[in-house]
Amino acid sequence: MRQEYQIDGINYDTEGLSKEGEALLERLQFIRLTLHELTNQQALLTKAKNAYIADLKMEIVQGRTGVDLGALFSDD
C-alpha cells in the first residue's frame, strides 16, 4: 500500500524507506501527536487558570467590600 507523508508542505512517498527511515517516521508521527495533545492540554489549563483568577478577584473584592459579586451576577 502506497503512503505519502507531508513534511514542510512537501509530500514524500514512504514506500521504499529503510527500517531506520520507518522508525524515524514513526517517531516523528508520535512527536506530532504528542505536541497536539500538549497544545490541547495547555489550552485547557489556561482556561482553568483564567477561571481561578476571576474567582480569586471576586473573592478579594468580597473580602475588601463585603459585596458578593458572584451573588450579584448569578442567574439564580
| Pair 13, 2: CB distance under 8 Å | yes
The residue extents of the domains of the chain are 4-73
| Pair 70, 58: CB distance under 8 Å | yes
SS3 41: helix
Q: Does the predicted model carry a pTM greater than 0.75? A: no
The one-letter amino acid code at 13 reads D
pLDDT higher than 80, residue 43: yes
Question: Confidence band (pLDDT; 50, 70, 90) for 76?
Answer: low
